[in-house]
Structure 1
Amino acid sequence: MMGLNPRQMKRLMRQMGIKMEELDGVEEVVIRLENREIVLKEPTVTVMVVQGEKTYQIIPGSEEVREVLKIPEEDVQLVMEQAGVDRETALKALEETKGDIAEAILKLSGE
């Protein structure tokens, strides 16, 4: 396919039923994994439709990896009951103590 100019390439893709479109205004793309998130900032996102199937091509401007702490609901409930606080306060304390239940309860009981 070398030697084709962009106009010829577009015509050939149209004949093959391939549609491409760039998404405008994309600020970030987040890929969520079990214990972390990959945040792609200011990406260029192209959507290609081939035989009814969509494929997204993402070219990031920059990348950031965030660790994600998953706190089980049972832990939140336990801290709420033991420290006598609401859900939001219990969750915040667990996040601050990186999920350590005993430390979260002690922290809230001492406040």
Structure 2
Amino acid sequence: MFPGMGGKVNPRQLERQMKSMGIDMYEIEGVKQVIIKTADKDIVFNDAQVTVIDARGQKMYQLVGTPEERPLEKEIPEADITLVAQQAGVPKELAKQALKDTKGDLAEAILKLSGNK
């Protein structure tokens, strides 16, 4: 809380006090989507409201919205695809799909494809 406000916050007074301290606050208009990328997932905000708080050149971004977590698909090494395709005697496209289905488990993918022949 800001001193001298007496528990009541007058938006105009607050804005003046922030300006006097060198703090500027504004909303970014027209935001369509915000994506936060991590090592194992993306966090997507489709209905985001983004406010910038600029304190003497130091910018902070406040994000408000509903997050949707999307796990990242792991990249399957070409060597694994080739091995599964050769061992199961199937095209690489089928081998790649089997590896995706088995979350990269080579043995399970080969068994799965060998049983479907």
> TM bucket by the smaller chain?
0.5 to 0.7
Give the one of 51, 75, 78 matched to 1:76.
Answer: 78
Pair 1:3 & 2:8 matched? yes
* Between 4-13 and 50-59, the greater mean CA deviation after superposition: 4-13
Task: Render the CA deviation track for 1:29-62: whole Å, top value 9, x for unaligned.
Answer: 21212111211221111000112111010111x2
Identity %: 36
Pair 1:43 & 2:48 matched? yes
The number of residue pairs the alignment matches comes to 103
Cα separation, 1, equivalents of 2:102 and 2:64:
36
Structure 1: which 5+ runs fail to align?
A: none
Deviation of residue 96 (structure 1)?
5.2
Would you say the 8 A contact 1:71–1:99 is kept in 2?
A: no
User: Which has a greater percent of strand?
Assistant: 1
Q: TM-score with structure 2 length normalisation?
A: 0.64
Task: Render the CA deviation track for 1:70-95: whole Å, top value 9, x for unaligned.
Answer: 215xx12553687576xxx59x6354
Cα separation, 1, equivalents of 2:50 and 2:13:
23
Q: Within 5 Å, give how 1:8-27 maps onto structure 2.
A: 8-27=13-32
Task: Render the CA deviation track for 1:11-35: whole Å, top value 9, x for unaligned.
Answer: 1111100011101111222121211
Corresponding residue for residue 88 of structure 2: none
Q: Rg: which structure is higher?
A: 2
Give the one of 60, 65, 86 matched to 2:69.
Answer: 65
Cα separation, 1, equivalents of 2:100 and 2:38:
18
Pair 1:99 & 2:101 matched? no
Cα separation, 2, equivalents of 1:26 and 1:81:
45
Structure 2: which 5+ runs fail to align?
A: 86-90
